[in-house]
Structure 1
Amino acid sequence: MNKRRLGLLTGTHAVNDLYQGLVPALLPLMVLERGYSYTAVAGLMLAGTGLSSVVQPLFGLYADRHPRSWLVPTGFLVAALGIVLAGLSRDYLLTWIAIALCGLGIAAYHPPATVAARAAGGTSQKAMSVFSVGGTIGASFAPVLAATAVGGGSLSRSYLLGLPALAMGAIWLLANTGTSGNAAAAASAAARRAGAHMPKPHNDWRAFGWLVATIVGWSIPYVTVLSMLSLRITRDLHGTAFQGAAALTAFTAAGAVGTLLGGWLGDRIGRMGTIRTGYLFALPSMAGIVLAPSPAWALACTALLGTSMFLPFAAQVTLAQDYLPRNPATASGITLGLALSVGGLVSPLFGMLSDARGLGFTFTAVLCVLCAATVLALRLRNRTMQPPPAETAGTEAAA
């Protein structure tokens, strides 16, 4: 494991996902200052997240065919530029274009950065979990940064939001120049030439399809819980607003803990054992929320659910890359972008179901979806691939 390289990539992930989190964090401020309607807000959210999820596999295809390390810093710098322009623009169309630019930067970052993190981590599942948590930490700071820099009707100060990206860009430049950076680049190029004539393992698209279906079944409960859990506690269980907010905080924090714990377990009990354990423990946790008699019971089950659902997260990313060894960036783009976005795309349907039948019925339906995802997870099979020669050599040289 190249800890220095992994730490640098984790830092870039935190900065990149900071701008992903700034999109929803800035929307309430835009409503107050510019008087946007809910429809306009939904349009901006679609530009920032929906477009990013759809084009992310395309950037994965490009990264597989034309590996370019500059995509990593370019991604988060473009995302920062989009956020700054969105804050400074007064025209809605220009704001929409700016947030779409932010989404494109976020999409461009993830596939190559995930492949680079896998190379830096070697065979360790813990490395991928650390990289993943970096993004969670960055996104969690977005509301604080938005309120501090541009809160209180001060969107004209949005240029301040670009400072984290500029600082990380400078760090990236310093870390990738000089003697060690040149040596790593030379070793990586030599290894690519040496490995060009080596036969590459085939892509297992069938197994990858089953994994994508599993992740889709994971994303639907995740998005539904994230959007409706607070209402479930306050309306159905007669909890306070504080208890509803505490449940969401517990779910997010437990997700970060589960991601790290999943990486640790993956190195000890294996990748498939971690995936199956996460899904099997998530089922009684979700059932506990459905049958919860009180807010306190729901809060406890929520913490367990967040931990369980994120146990398989890092393992699923590395498994996707091993299913498609010829296209690891594409695999990352589909699993982290397109498959995870399905939960958001179908969330209006569950909202309509809640209006018609109540939140209890909706959470029961979500439990059924999670059961189907668990069945799919249990039928997944492991596939271990050695890191590509270019990545291995480049990592060792950088170390």
Structure 2
Amino acid sequence: MDKTIHKQVTYQEENKTLYQILFLIGLCHLLNDSLQAVIPAMFPILENSMGLSFTQLGLIAFTLNMVSSVMQPLVGTYTDKHPIPFALPIGLASSMVGMLGLALAPNFWLILVSVIFIGLGSAVFHPEGSRVAYLAAGNKRGLAQSIYQVGGNSGQALAPLITALILVPLGQKGALWFTIIAAIAVGILTYIARWYAGQLQSIASKKKQTTSRQLDKAMSKAIKSALLVLIFIVFARSWYGAAISNFYAFYAIDNYNLTIANSQVYIFIFLAMGAVGTFLGGPLADRFGRRNIILFSFVGASPLAILLPYVGSEFAMVLLAVIGVISMSSFSVTVVYAQELVPGKIGTMSGLIVGLAFGMGAIGSVALGSFIDSFGLTETMIMASFLPLLGFLTLLLPTDERIQTWYK
């Protein structure tokens, strides 16, 4: 009887959702990504104060995205084998150093070095932060990942406000205020790291059990195929997101005769509602299934995305809001799906999917910019509107139920 009660208590503890940890790691994700948002927000300031060319600004953005994206799966793979709880505050300390350098850098090359420090900090934070969300999730993995990811999306959506309220009046040295934000994040992450360190024994036990289950199942080919499909889906979503967030403002200026400031409203609506969609997607996936929500996020957004280039200025705001909610509802869900697809490699899968989103967004920005130069802005936005249709490839993914049978 006592053993039965002990097992029931242990099961309840393992499946308990730790909201305090989730909200704290979500807040740190907001702070981390708001630091990253400072960099593109500072472009107009750097262009005026240092006379940087668009090529140099593009190189800064490319460096940030590639360092943070390429390093994420590498960090995740290493920490899957050698967990380092205090990597979280160390990563944000790197971003703090980079932000200090960004505020005081006198030339382009020191700005680039500062951006590398910020990118490295982000590369360490994202897979480890996602692992913390996984460990604190209990039996609500979709909700947990949504709470974590919505912090990041909210931080990215702050870029227009950062530009208007801080960087325009204060200039380059306004970035000094963000070293304080980084320091706050380091303090919170130190607390989380202590909790994380206490979970290591449980992590090692679960990892050992998961590894033995994987060896018992000859499903490696199906898993690899599913990962390739998932990566392609992330590619489609990232490229469409890059098309809207980087170039729709120019489209709105040309087609609706707007000012630069007014055009930013469209981007803010898309990003802010995308954060709402990111939050909603997780709990919906817990109820209706990961694969179903991934499919819905593309199928639901596709007709609206195709319609967007042909509507007026006011209806475009409505469409961007709805597209943002629907298309980004799969952001956290794709991470959870990948984690459950390969449950023994939580950090690797988190780094791969989230890092890939950043990397594909960076490459997509360059490619779409080239298309605009070659074919025109309107034509490129029309072509980009068909990208969500690639989400129908989700039908090739194994169902949630099938994945569960692989690891029983």
Which bin holds the TM-score, normalised by the shorter protein?
0.7 to 0.9
**Deviation, structure 1 residue 119:** 1.8
Unaligned 5+ segments in structure 1 are 389-399
Q: Partner of 2:265 in structure 1?
A: 246
CA 141–353 in structure 1, closer or farther in 2 if over 3 Å, else same: closer
Q: Describe the SS at the equivalent of 1:196.
A: helix
CA 170–368 in structure 1, closer or farther in 2 if over 3 Å, else same: closer
Is the contact between residue 33 and residue 153 of structure 1 (CA under 8 Å) also seen in structure 2?
no
Q: Describe the SS at the equivalent of 2:300.
A: helix
Is the contact between residue 233 and residue 298 of structure 1 (CA under 8 Å) also seen in structure 2?
no
State how far apart, in whole Å, the 2-side matches of 1:76 and 1:187 are.
21
**Deviation, structure 1 residue 196:** 3.5
Match of 1:234 among 246, 250, 253: 253
Is the contact between residue 259 and residue 313 of structure 1 (CA under 8 Å) also seen in structure 2?
yes
Q: Partner of 2:148 in structure 1?
A: 131
Q: Partner of 1:97 in structure 2?
A: 113
**Deviation, structure 1 residue 212:** 0.5
Is the contact between residue 291 and residue 399 of structure 2 (CA under 8 Å) also seen in structure 1?
yes
Q: Partner of 2:397 in structure 1?
A: 380
CA 111–173 in structure 1, closer or farther in 2 if over 3 Å, else same: closer
Q: Does 1:108 align with 2:124?
A: yes
Match of 1:360 among 371, 378, 386: 378
**Deviation, structure 1 residue 161:** 2.0
State how far apart, in whole Å, the 1-side matches of 2:232 and 2:35 are.
28
**Deviation, structure 1 residue 341:** 2.0
Q: Partner of 1:296 in structure 2?
A: 314
Unaligned 5+ segments in structure 2 are 1-16
Counterparts of 1:301-320 in structure 2, within 5 Å, are: 301-320=319-338
Q: Does 1:171 align with 2:188?
A: yes
Q: TM-score, normalised by structure 2?
A: 0.84
Is the contact between residue 22 and residue 148 of structure 2 (CA under 8 Å) also seen in structure 1?
yes
Most deviating of 347-356 and 331-340: 347-356
**Deviation, structure 1 residue 158:** 4.3
Q: Partner of 1:86 in structure 2?
A: 102
CA 137–154 in structure 1, closer or farther in 2 if over 3 Å, else same: same
Is the contact between residue 157 and residue 272 of structure 2 (CA under 8 Å) also seen in structure 1?
no
Q: How many residues align?
A: 380
Q: Does 1:8 align with 2:24?
A: yes
Residues 119-155 of structure 1, C-alpha deviations (whole Å, 9 max, x = no match): 2113321221111111122333455456656654654
CA 23–191 in structure 1, closer or farther in 2 if over 3 Å, else same: closer
Most deviating of 203-212 and 133-142: 133-142
State how far apart, in whole Å, the 1-side matches of 2:337 and 2:172 are.
42
Q: Partner of 1:196 in structure 2?
A: 208
CA 32–119 in structure 1, closer or farther in 2 if over 3 Å, else same: same
Q: Does 1:269 align with 2:288?
A: yes
Is the contact between residue 233 and residue 243 of structure 1 (CA under 8 Å) also seen in structure 2?
no
State how far apart, in whole Å, the 2-side matches of 1:358 and 1:154 are.
33
**Deviation, structure 1 residue 110:** 0.6
Q: Does 1:44 align with 2:60?
A: yes
CA 232–41 in structure 1, closer or farther in 2 if over 3 Å, else same: closer
CA 301–141 in structure 1, closer or farther in 2 if over 3 Å, else same: closer
**Deviation, structure 1 residue 251:** 0.7
Identity of aligned residues (%): 25
Q: Partner of 1:338 in structure 2?
A: 356
AA matched with 2:183: L
CA 217–34 in structure 1, closer or farther in 2 if over 3 Å, else same: same
Q: Partner of 1:21 in structure 2?
A: 37
AA matched with 2:337: L
Most deviating of 107-116 and 154-163: 154-163
